[in-house]
Every structure is written in C-alpha cells, then in structure tokens.
C-alpha cells in the first residue's frame, strides 16, 4: 500500500504538470461519493448514492453542451461494518483519487458522511485543494477555514442549527440554570447536546447540569432519580433522545407532581423519522397523564419544509427507492419516509450546478481546480433550489430555519409558535405563548427557591407573593367553581412542597397521596391547620387571603349556599371518608350573613382566622382567573 505521504507528493506533481483550461470546451465534472454499504447508518450508500445518480442524470440533460457530468461511487464491498469503513476511509479515498479517478476539469466529493469519515476526507481534500460537500455530518473544524478551506456543509439539519434555538430560549427567558438529559442510546440528538454543552460552557453565570441515561437504562427508576435531582437545581430541563424515552420521563414527572406551570421540559425533534426519533405526537386517547404532561413541553425542530421536499425531489423518490433496491438490495417499507439527508444530498448536487454555471458565465477563465476559491463562491448567499431557499453562511455551512412548538390539546399536535431565521437568527412569533394560561415561559427558579425555603420568599410572603397569587376587588366576574378550582390548585401546590409535606406527615394530617386526592373544601380546612396550628405562615398567607375572598364571593353569588357545589362536596360521604381522622373538614351553613363556617378538630373557625388578616377581603386567585 502506497503511504499517504507519497499520495500527496504524487498529487502535487500531477497538478504542476496540468495544462491551462480552455474556456470554450465542455467542462467535465466528476462527482465522487465515498460511503459505506452498511445499512446501520442513515448515511449509507444504499440511501445516498441513488439521489446523486438521479441528480447527475438530470443535470446531464439540463446542461448539455456546457457540462459533462460523471459519477463515481467509492466503497469496499468487504467492509460491511460501518466502524471498519470509518477506520479505513482515508486510504480508500486516497487510493481512488490517485489510481482510479477519471480525467475531469473538476473533481468534487459529495457525500453524506459520519463524523469520522468527514474528518478524514476533509484532511485529504484540504491537501488536494479539492472541493468537498457533505450533506449530513459536520464538525466544528468545518468553520475553521484554515483547517477546512474547501469544505462546504450543505445538509439541512446540522447540529449547530438546533443549538442556536436553545441558546435563544436561554437568553430570552434568562434561564441561568438548566438541567440537560442525554439519552445515550438515541441517534443524532446526543450530538446536538454536545454542541449545546460546548456553547453553554462559554457563557458566564450559567449553572449547567448534565445527566446521561446509559443504553439499556430507560426505566422508571432512572427517570425518578434524574427528576428528583433536577427538582433541586432548576425548573428548565433540556431532553435529547428518542420520543419513547421522553414519554416515559414525562409520565414519571406526572407521578412526582412536577408538571405545574413552574416546570418546563424542552425536547428535540430534528425531523420526522420514526426509526430515529419516534413519534412525539402519538398519544393514546386514554393516556391522560401524558396529555396533561404535554402542557409543560415545548419542542425544538427544523423548518417544516425540510420534512416535505419540493416537487423535483418528490418526483424523484420512486426512482431513488428503485435504485436502492436494485443496486444495494435495500427495499423501503411501504410507508417508510425518505430521510432529509437524502434530499439534502440531491439538493447539494443541484446547488453545485447552479454555482458552477453562474461562476463560469461571469468568468469563463475561472480555475475550477482551485477548490478553496470555488468554495468561497457559495458563501453568504441564498439560492433557490426546487422552490426552496438554501442559505449558506459566511464559512460554507447551510443554515435552516428553526421552529419552537407547543402542544395544542384540540388538534393533538405540536404547533409552531416561533420561527428562527437560519440566515439572521431573528425569531418571529407566529402564535401567542400559552403557558398554563400565561403569556410567557417560566423562570428557571421559582420565587420560593427549589426547596421552597428561599429567604426572599419569606420576606415577600405578605407582599410580592400575594400580589402574584391573589387580586381584588370584590366585583370581579367569576363563579364559585372557578374560585374553588383555584383554591384547590393553589392549596395543593403549597401543601405539596417538601418541607410543608414533611410537617403535615409528622403531625398526622395526611400523606402526599392524601393531599393529591383532597377537594377544594378540604384544602381550605387544611390551610387553617397549617397556618394556625403548624405555624407555616410564609407559604399559607396567600391561600389564607384567598379563603377570605371566598367568603365574600360565595356570599354574593350564592345567597343560598345549600345547593352550591361547595355545599354538596362538603356533605359528600366519599370526601369525608377520604380524609384522615386528624384532617380538618368544612361545613357550609346557610347563615344570615351567608358565610362559611369552618369546623376543625382544633375548634378553629373561619371567623377567628379572618380577624387575624391585615388585608381586605374580596381577593380572588389571579393565576386561575382571566
């Protein structure tokens, strides 16, 4: 085997001895596609080579008399394992280049590529000053033009495209603490996680925790461990992995009561591919936990048009599938989708033709053998290919629009709310944010801290917290059910904080499961116990004030409280049977003042409690009333 050094020297001799290019002749363009025949990779020749062949055939007709197009496929049939191919790709490409390359005015490598092979072939191409275009994998070295002067990365779905969207979300929402979960058994998404991690490491003042799910560890126990750790350090979770794993994580989050409006889970769906990423939107009608969980999820993805090729590519798909079967013995399943890497490869060939034709039309003497000069002709421009915009940035990397999506309960799908321009990075909001009834995403740390005992929460308990939770005046248009629903949700949120729950259990007032099953009326009674008996005032002040407002509200709305929902619930045996013996209960009595009277094991009354409040009545929960 000739050494790589002699390959390089021999190449230089060939270039020095070549003759000047005649601007009047038909230019021969030889496209070389190295690859593996292993079907374990989405960049296999079985998928990619048919797209290049069909593009070359079309261009031969379109540019007849201008260009003569040829195509060479570089592979070794004995290398059926993708790892073995990656280890030997440099020698395979060099051997072809020096011993089997057909004479041409321009030789260009166009292939999809994995990380190992693009690195090896880039080193060779840079030494040969030969244009190299990849349509799938890229590396940080691609953006260094000293190391990669001839490398263009024209794939639709480069990992840096997605990382930019995550960084936008962090900066816009001031998320300074993020918890990153990486499912190591997933395809592609861990690469995005790595690029994002590198970018976050360069940012100041960011607390960044990474939890890796090892292969074979997609279990409830794993999800439970990581969620509990996440709960102590952030409220923003970035997930990188298969949708099946993500759904398991979200179901466990539901079990741990971590689906309130203060938690946000961001997952990645690079493009539509059932094998690689699953189907995030596929939710059984009876899976109420997951349907509820999706209210706390946003999805980062690629522009929708990437999943739906233009008319030229769409018309080619049957031919691609036929060639895959005939030449590589791969048969697509009836409903199997064509990977965007395939269409990106097809578009890369068409893009090359557009730039070559434009370049030689403007300068017939342009030296096509100067790969770095030719690569620069692609920089900083948008070219329309197959009715779709293809933007290549200042170093030759394609930038595609990104999308941020939220779940629509009515349609059962994730719908676009924001679009990030690949060319400028600017974000356009196309639908309003609806985060549990709010118009913005949550902060990465709740007011009372991750454990609920932040000093700022204690200082602000009777000022800022109340302002954010309750509001007057008495004439706010709201019905009794809305008030009770609000108190129930707020009460449970407060009672289930770890420190509060611990005191409840120690005092015999119920467990976490008891609290989860409580009605609004039972929460009110428990609130009195927490405030007056257990002295947990810093968290219970807001709910105590809401109780005061409830008295006036129900008095105004229901002069005869005996028929109200609250009265019926209070009298329901099932509710009373559900409550532990030490827990307070509530009775509605139709007094002349139309007030609630609370009777507890400790002989506490609402009237006594209300006299201790310093703020006026007539307050209602703001977060539950629009």
**How does residue 612 score in pLDDT terms, banded at 50, 70 and 90?**
very low
- Quick one: CA torsion of 432, 235, 276, 399, rounded to 10 degrees? 60
Is 90 exceeded by the pLDDT of residue 145?
yes
Task: Outline where DSSP puts E strands in 41-176.
Answer: 67-74, 106-111, 132-134, 151-153
What's the rounded Cα separation, in Å, for the pair 45 and 573?
69
DSSP category for residue 561:
G
| 572 token code pair | 């329901």
The answer to whether the pTM exceeds 0.85 is no
Determine contact, residues 233/177, Cβ cutoff 8 Å: yes
**Side-chain half-sphere exposure of 166, counting CA atoms within 13 A:** 30
Q: What percent of the chain has pLDDT over 70?
A: 69
- Quick one: CA torsion of 231, 233, 234, 240, rounded to 10 degrees? -80
Helices 537-557, 480-495: crossing angle, 10 deg rounding: 170
Is 50 exceeded by the pLDDT of residue 27?
yes
What's the rounded Cα separation, in Å, for the pair 618 and 131?
73
What's the rounded Cα separation, in Å, for the pair 432 and 247?
25
Helix (H) or strand (E) holding 34: strand 27-34
How many other C-beta atoms lie within 10 A of the C-beta of residue 261?
A: 18
**How much is the average pLDDT of 315-320?**
95
Question: Of 457-461, 519-523, 603-607, which gets the smallest average pLDDT?
Answer: 603-607
What's the rounded Cα separation, in Å, for the pair 592 and 612?
22
SS3 316: helix
Q: Average pLDDT of the chain? A: 78
Is 80 exceeded by the pLDDT of residue 121?
yes
Residues contacting residue 338 through CB under 8 Å, at least 6 positions apart: 309, 317, 320, 321
Nearest to 95 by CA among 113, 74, 109, 112: 74
Question: Exposed, middle or buried by CB within 10 Å (0-12, 13-18, 19+), for 477?
Answer: exposed
Beta bridge partners of 298: 266, 406
**How does residue 107 score in pLDDT terms, banded at 50, 70 and 90?**
very high
Tens digits of residue pLDDT in 34-88: 999 888 888 999 999 999 999 999 999 999 999 999 999 999 988 888 888 888 9
| 507 token code pair | 């005092």
How many other C-beta atoms lie within 10 A of the C-beta of residue 29?
A: 23
What's the rounded Cα separation, in Å, for the pair 66 and 87?
39
Nearest to 251 by CA among 290, 283, 213: 290
SS3 587: strand
- Quick one: CA torsion of 132, 133, 138, 143, rounded to 10 degrees? 70
What's the rounded Cα separation, in Å, for the pair 114 and 99?
25
Please give the C-alpha separations between residue 313 and each of 135, 301, 354, 391, in angstroms, as whole numbers.
15, 21, 16, 18
Alpha helices in 306-448 (DSSP H): 311-328, 340-362, 371-376
Beta bridge partners of 597: 587
**How much is the average pLDDT of 263-276?**
90
- pLDDT, position 77: 87
Task: Outline where DSSP puts E strands in 235-285.
Answer: 236-240, 264-269
Longest CA–CA separation in the chain, Å: 109
Q: Which residue has the higher pLDDT, 580 or 213?
A: 213
Residues contacting residue 424 through CB under 8 Å, at least 6 positions apart: none
SS3 367: coil
Is 50 exceeded by the pLDDT of residue 178?
yes
SS3 72: strand
Using the Cα atoms of residue 161, residue 164, residue 165 and residue 166 in order, give the sign of their dihedral: positive
What's the rounded Cα separation, in Å, for the pair 379 and 426?
20
**How does residue 486 score in pLDDT terms, banded at 50, 70 and 90?**
low
Nearest to 126 by CA among 99, 145, 101: 145
Q: Which residue has the higher pLDDT, 247 or 408?
A: 247
End-to-end Cα spacing for the chain: 76
Nearest to 163 by CA among 133, 198, 135: 198
What's the rounded Cα separation, in Å, for the pair 462 and 445?
20
Tens digits of residue pLDDT in 372-417: 999 999 999 999 999 999 999 999 999 999 999 999 878 888 999 9
Whether residue 378 has a cis bond before it, omega within 30° of 0: no
Tens digits of residue pLDDT in 530-570: 544 444 444 444 445 544 444 444 444 444 434 444 443 33
- Quick one: CA torsion of 520, 522, 523, 529, rounded to 10 degrees? 160
Whether residue 253 has a cis bond before it, omega within 30° of 0: no
Question: Domains in the chain, start-ordered, CATH in brackets?
Answer: 4-157+308-398 (3.40.50.2300), 159-269+274-306+402-429 (3.40.50.2300), 455-624 (no CATH)
SS3 202: coil
């Amino acid at each position: 085997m000739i050494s790589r050094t002699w390959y390089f020297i021999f190449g230089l001799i060939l270039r020095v001895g070549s003759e000047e290019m005649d601007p009047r002749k038909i230019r021969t363009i030889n496209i070389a596609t190295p690859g593996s025949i292993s079907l374990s990779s989405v960049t296999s020749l079985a998928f990619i080579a048919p797209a290049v062949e069909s593009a070359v055939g079309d261009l031969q007709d379109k540019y007849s008399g201008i260009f003569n197009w040829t195509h060479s496929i570089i592979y070794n049939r004995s290398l059926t394992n993708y790892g073995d191919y990656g280890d030997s790709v440099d020698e395979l490409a060099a051997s072809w280049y020096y011993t089997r390359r057909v004479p041409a005015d321009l030789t260009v490598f166009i292939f999809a590529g994995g990380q190992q092979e693009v690195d090896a072939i880039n080193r060779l191409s840079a030494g040969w000053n030969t244009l190299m275009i990849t349509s799938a994998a890229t590396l940080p070295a691609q953006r260094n033009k000293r190391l990669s002067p001839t490398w263009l990365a024209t794939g639709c779905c480069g990992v840096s495209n997605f990382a930019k969207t995550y960084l936008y979300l962090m900066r816009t929402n001031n998320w300074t603490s993020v918890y990153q979960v990486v499912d190591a058994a997933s395809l592609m998404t861990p690469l995005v996680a790595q690029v994002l991690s590198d970018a976050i490491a360069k940012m100041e003042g960011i607390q960044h925790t990474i939890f890796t799910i090892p292969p074979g560890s997609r279990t409830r126990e794993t999800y439970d461990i990581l969620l509990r750790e996440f709960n102590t350090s952030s409220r923003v979770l970035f997930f990188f992995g298969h949708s099946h794993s993500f759904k398991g994580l979200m179901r466990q989050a539901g079990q741990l009561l971590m689906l309130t409006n203060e938690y946000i889970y961001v997952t990645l769906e690079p493009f539509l591919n059932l094998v690689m990423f699953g189907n995030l939107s596929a939710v059984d009608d009876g899976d109420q936990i997951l349907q509820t969980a999706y209210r706390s999820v946003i999805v980062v993805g690629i522009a929708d048009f990437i999943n739906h090729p233009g008319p030229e590519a769409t018309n080619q798909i049957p031919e691609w599938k036929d060639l895959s079967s005939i030449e590589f013995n791969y048969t697509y399943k009836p409903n199997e989708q064509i990977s965007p890497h395939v269409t990106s490869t097809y578009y890369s060939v068409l893009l090359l033709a557009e730039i070559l034709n434009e370049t030689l039309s403007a300068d017939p003497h342009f030296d096509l053998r100067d790969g770095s000069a030719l690569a620069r002709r692609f920089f900083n421009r948008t070219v329309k290919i197959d009715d779709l915009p293809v933007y290549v940035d200042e170093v030759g990397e394609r930038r595609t629009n990104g999308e941020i999506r939220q779940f629509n309960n009515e349609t059962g799908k994730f719908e676009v709310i924001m679009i990030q321009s690949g060319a400028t990075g600017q974000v356009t909001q196309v639908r309003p944010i609806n985060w549990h009834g709010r118009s913005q995403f949550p902060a990465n740390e709740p007011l009372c801290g991750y454990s609920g005992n932040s000093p700022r929460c204690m200082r602000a308990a009777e000022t800022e917290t109340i302002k954010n939770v309750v509001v007057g005046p008495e004439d706010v248009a709201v019905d009794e059910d809305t008030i009770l629903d609000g108190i129930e949700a707020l009460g449970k949120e407060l009672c289930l904080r770890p420190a509060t729950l611990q005191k409840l259990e120690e005092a015999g007032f119920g467990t976490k499961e008891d609290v989860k099953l409580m009605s609004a009326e039972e929460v009110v009674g428990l609130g009195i116990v927490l405030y007056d008996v257990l002295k947990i005032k810093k968290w219970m002040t807001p709910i105590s004030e809401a109780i005061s407002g409830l008295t006036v509200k129900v008095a105004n709305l229901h002069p005869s409280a005996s028929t109200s929902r609250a009265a019926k619930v209070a009298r329901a045996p099932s509710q009373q049977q559900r409550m532990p013996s030490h827990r307070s209960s509530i009775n509605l009595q139709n007094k002349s003042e139309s007030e609630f009277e609370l009777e507890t094991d400790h002989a506490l009354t609402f009237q006594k409690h209300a006299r201790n409040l310093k703020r006026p009545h007539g307050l209602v929960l703001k977060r539950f009333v629009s």
